[in-house]
Structure 1
Amino acid sequence: MNNANFSLPVPQARIAGSIAAGQHLLGWNVPPSELVHIPEHWLIYPEPEASVHYLLGIVYFGFFIASVVGNGLVIWIFTAAKSLRTPSNIFVVNLAICDFFMMLKAPLFIYNSFNRGFAAGHIGCQIFAFVGSLTGIAAGMTNACIAYDRYSTIACPFDGKVTRTKAIVMLLCVWLYTIPWGVLPLLEIWGRFVPEGYLTSCTFDYLTSTFDNRMFVGVIFTFSYVIPMSMIIYFYSQIVSHVVNHEKALKEQAKKMNVDSLRSNQNPANTSVEVRIAKAAITVCFLFVASWTPYAVLALIGAFGDKSLLTPGITMIPALTCKLVACIDPFIYAISHPRYRIELQNRLPWLAIKESVSDTQSVNTEATGQVNT
């Protein structure tokens, strides 16, 4: 995993060959002292058109604005509003903090894109990848904590309620779990951070074919993807199972009593809390899998499969999906929260949010104040 394991390409020869062919190769404008930090896999590909770099920069700028505004509002409202300072919402705030800082590093990508390459250099690459590693893994584990909290609240409404102390301890465990996976490659103790794709973003090295590096990829794949995803799928599947069994029990009891339903309100517009929870569970599970699975597959192909499949353009797609989730999370976890909308309505009336207080109180009562947090 030392830099000595990587041969230094000759930039003069690469530039001369590129000019003769009428097109530059990736890394043609990187100083020789910086080339050693770039996996040679990327240096054989032609540089994309300038418009591709600029388009990606504009997309990341949109992600940056959406994430900073959305997650910034979540952090502000959930910490400032007394009614929202519940143990369950501690996880929501932590997720918003992770997503906020994940996209706070976007200016480095934008700067690289508008300079068409590795403009921020090795230091910028390390900052970008370190922040991304911490916030990405912490967000995954926080999603697992949210899944556990909702599972315990729904399946064990009397005994399973998460207390403030328990929530804080769980978050401390999340960060203790996460920090090694950022520090180890940063210090090149195990693994390392390198540029990828168009050399405008950085992540852990999944291309070096050494035993140590392949072992690192396999371990970080397990700890950052398999474990949190397994927890999320398990807890949310238990929630769906609980909802289905509850609905079945209600129907059987209603049949015994010769009534159509035991529910007092059969208005289709007023979907039951249980059904809303089930839908939210499936949405959250799908969001995590859809956003992080492409990157997980990419890393496994780079470490154990056919590296020729990983072209610079292909590898930029998982990078975008991982960043997109940081923009969507505030809407999934918070903007659908009725008490959050009430606080936004009170504090930012110019947003013209029309939330019924009576409906919100009804939902809060029916959900015991925890289901929607």
Structure 2
Amino acid sequence: MYEMENITDITGISDYYMWEQACDKEDVSAFATLLTTILNSFIFIFSIIGNGLVLWVLIAYENFESVTNVFIFNLSIADLILTLCLPFFIVYHRQGWIFGAVACKTFNALFSVGFYSGIIFLTFMTYHRYLAVVDPLSALKTRRPAFKIMTSIIAWFLSISASVPVIIFQVETKYAGFNRCEYNEKIPELVSNYQQNIFFLITFSVIIFCYFNIIKTLLKSQSQRNHKPVKLILVIVVVYFLSWSPYNIIMLIHSLNQQNIFKDCEFIKKIDYAKYVSEKIAMSHCCLNPILYAFVGIKFRRHLKNVLKCCCQCKHDALSTARHSSQYHCHNEDGSLY
């Protein structure tokens, strides 16, 4: 262990690292490495397969005239962006950051963009369903191709804009013989963490408002037409909230810890344990949406059976027949994925 007086103030956050060094966290580091290696590997495999199937089903069997299909497509892209970062974080925990300064900014920015784009598209999806139920006439305007293109562009633009602090201030550093990829100053990190917390809180306030009015309207209505879409989106939103809210809560506490509010070493280590566990719970969301579509979405299950049937027919040299059948089925489907 390094002597505290030998630590030089290069980044402007030496006080925090001096305290961190005084509090031995080798057990936390070993736990984080093991947890990251195991769970990131499983999440990566299942997310690639699941979201790949979602994109395949959307492209081969569905159309993008449905606004919700467009949002689900973008949501899968956002999940895949997060997923592609996972193998690099496994190596990071085991060997330090060995990929260079540019990759440090790139992969942390991708993680941030994936997080923000996911919650933005969920919010847009919920608001669109809110219009379809509460104000159907306004919802008709959203069927225009220009609306789908503009909302997608706006969502990705907002996600990238929100990730600017990561792009600017995440740098490769070396500390105690270990290459790190982290913020070079305390204030930008705190700003980024609080921004994420506030963004998460605002978007979910909008979602709760929308669903409160959706449920109130459906209870007054005798029509069952909107119930299935609302059910699917509600399940997706609830799972997203359960996945990401613990991480946001722990990151808020972690930000307070970085301001030296907590002094007890054992409590600080518990915060670190909770941070790593909540982070894996949040990342597991990448592979959950395809499972939700399979359990809640009747059309998705039907399309998935066709995909599997197509694969089986390919093995028996009947690929052309399967494609013809798939295309015919596709053109006779309307609406969204569910």
Say yes or no: does 1:239 pair with 2:205.
no
1:61-80 aligned at under 5 Å gives the runs: 61-80=41-60
Pick aligned residue for 1:323 from 261, 264, 283:
283
For 2:203, the equivalent position in structure 1 comes to: 228
Say yes or no: does 1:153 pair with 2:142.
no
Distance verdict in 2 for CA 1:215–1:118, change over 3 Å: closer
CA distance in 2, matches of 1:295, 1:126: 21
Distance verdict in 2 for CA 1:203–1:143, change over 3 Å: farther
CA distance in 2, matches of 1:226, 1:314: 20
Say yes or no: does 1:104 pair with 2:84.
yes
For 1:358, the equivalent position in structure 2 comes to: none
Code of the residue aligned with 1:73 in structure 2: it is L
For 1:301, the equivalent position in structure 2 comes to: 253
Say yes or no: does 1:291 pair with 2:267.
no
Pick aligned residue for 1:344 from 299, 304, 317:
304
For 1:280, the equivalent position in structure 2 comes to: 232
1:135-214 aligned at under 5 Å gives the runs: 135-161=114-140, 162-163=142-143, 164-188=145-169, 192=170, 208=186, 210=187, 214=190
Aligned length: 301
Larger helix percent: 2
Pick aligned residue for 2:105 from 103, 126, 135:
126
For the 8 Å contact 1:236–1:285, the answer to whether it is kept is no
- Deviation, structure 1 residue 142: 0.4
- 1:59-99 Cα deviation digits (max 9, x unpaired): 11000011111111112221233546533211100000000
- Deviation, structure 1 residue 118: 4.8
For 1:218, the equivalent position in structure 2 comes to: 194
- Deviation, structure 1 residue 124: 4.7
Distance verdict in 2 for CA 1:344–1:281, change over 3 Å: closer
**Which stretch of structure 1 is more off in the superposition, 297-306 or 318-327?**
297-306
- Deviation, structure 1 residue 273: 5.2
For the 8 Å contact 2:171–2:181, the answer to whether it is kept is yes
RMSD of equivalent CA atoms: 3.9
Distance verdict in 2 for CA 1:323–1:217, change over 3 Å: closer
TM-score if structure 1 supplies the norm length? 0.67
- Deviation, structure 1 residue 157: 3.4
- 1:324-351 Cα deviation digits (max 9, x unpaired): 1111122334663333333322232178
Distance verdict in 2 for CA 1:70–1:203, change over 3 Å: farther
Distance verdict in 2 for CA 1:277–1:244, change over 3 Å: farther
- Deviation, structure 1 residue 149: 1.6
Distance verdict in 2 for CA 1:80–1:50, change over 3 Å: same
Distance verdict in 2 for CA 1:243–1:47, change over 3 Å: same
Name the SS of the counterpart of 1:348 in structure 2: helix
- 1:146-189 Cα deviation digits (max 9, x unpaired): 1012122222334413223212111111112111222233212x
Pick aligned residue for 1:58 from 29, 34, 38:
38
- Deviation, structure 1 residue 120: 5.0
CA distance in 2, matches of 1:323, 1:184: 21
- Deviation, structure 1 residue 298: 2.3
Distance verdict in 2 for CA 1:310–1:71, change over 3 Å: farther
Name the SS of the counterpart of 2:26 in structure 1: coil
**Structure 2 unmatched ranges of 5 or more:** 313-328
Code of the residue aligned with 1:284 in structure 2: it is I
For 1:88, the equivalent position in structure 2 comes to: 68
Q: Percent identity?
A: 20
- Deviation, structure 1 residue 285: 3.2
- 1:229-284 Cα deviation digits (max 9, x unpaired): 1222222222211111225xx8xxxxxxxxxxxxxxxxxxxxx5555455435423
CA distance in 2, matches of 1:83, 1:179: 27
